[in-house]
């Protein structure tokens, strides 16, 4: 049985404008009654904590694509060196006119608008020997330290909470969710998910965004996975 669900936010329980799907609240309430819901998102720590409070999910969560783990109310663990991202941004900004997003609240990574060739920029980072990656979430492009991802953070959460792989589910939509899919025992994607994620999924909803998430919860309950 699943004891914990790692849940992405943007594009999974929201629509393409990042608006929360109303019925997702009911679905999350169903999850909360059966398992520990661990938010795993590219959003900043303060935003993720506010969402966790409003949704009634665990105060243990993953933010900034695995750069931060919040351990309950009192402890925040940083898993990334911000200097790596800052240097990558500085070098790329000499080539592209990058526009930062919500940088005031970010601790471990940087987020920019996706108005440039992401694949080419990633190749430049590698050529420069910088330990940084670019991840296009569909909402923004994250500049992060290469070793940092949701899967690495989720594995640390699993170890600390004593969770086995077969006790953990992951639900998401973007390429940034792929690492956590690879450490979870049950994986589910919404219909708007990227092909790489769907290929790793045990269940793919026919519905997009928030409605797809609700469909996933229904499936997990009906199949007695929860």
Spatial separation of the C-alpha atoms in residues 116 and 103, rounded to whole Å: 18
| 8 has catalytic annotation | yes
98 and 92 Cβ atoms separated by less than 8 Å: yes
Spatial separation of the C-alpha atoms in residues 118 and 88, rounded to whole Å: 13
- Give buried/exposed letters for 86-109 (b at 16+ CB in 10 A, else e): ebbbeebeeeeebeebeeeebebb
List the one residue out of 44, 5, 45 whose CA is nearest residue 27.
5
List the one residue out of 197, 144, 190, 151 whose CA is nearest residue 6.
151
CA atoms within 13 A on the CB side of 37: 26
CA angle 206, 56, 48 (to 5 degrees): 80
Spatial separation of the C-alpha atoms in residues 18 and 173, rounded to whole Å: 13
Residues 8, 109, 173, 215: which is the catalytic one?
Answer: 8
Spatial separation of the C-alpha atoms in residues 167 and 172, rounded to whole Å: 17
Helices 22-32 and 209-222 pack at an angle, to 10 degrees, of 30
Q: Cite the active site residues.
A: 8
């Amino acid at each position: 049985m699943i004891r914990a669900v790692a849940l992405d936010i943007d594009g999974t329980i929201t629509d393409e404008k990042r608006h929360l799907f109303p019925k997702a609240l009911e679905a999350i309430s169903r999850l909360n009654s059966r398992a520990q819901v661990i938010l795993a998102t590219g959003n900043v720590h303060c935003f993720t904590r506010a969402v966790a409070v409003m949704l009634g999910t665990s105060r243990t969560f993953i933010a900034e694509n695995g750069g931060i783990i919040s351990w309950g109310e009192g402890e925040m663990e940083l898993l990334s060196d911000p200097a790596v991202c800052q240097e990558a941004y500085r070098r790329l900004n000499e080539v592209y006119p990058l526009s930062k997003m919500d940088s005031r609240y970010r601790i471990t990574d940087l987020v920019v608008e996706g108005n440039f060739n992401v694949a080419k920029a990633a190749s430049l980072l590698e050529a420069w020997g910088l330990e940084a990656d670019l991840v296009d979430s569909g909402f923004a492009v994250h500049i992060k330290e290469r070793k940092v991802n949701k899967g690495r953070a989720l594995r640390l959460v699993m170890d600390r909470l004593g969770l086995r792989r077969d006790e953990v589910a992951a639900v998401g939509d973007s390429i940034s969710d792929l690492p956590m899919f690879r450490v979870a025992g049950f994986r589910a994607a919404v219909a708007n998910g990227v092909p790489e994620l769907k290929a790793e999924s045990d269940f793919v909803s026919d519905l997009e965004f928030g409605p797809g998430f609700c469909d996933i919860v229904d499936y997990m309950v009906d199949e007695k996975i929860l």
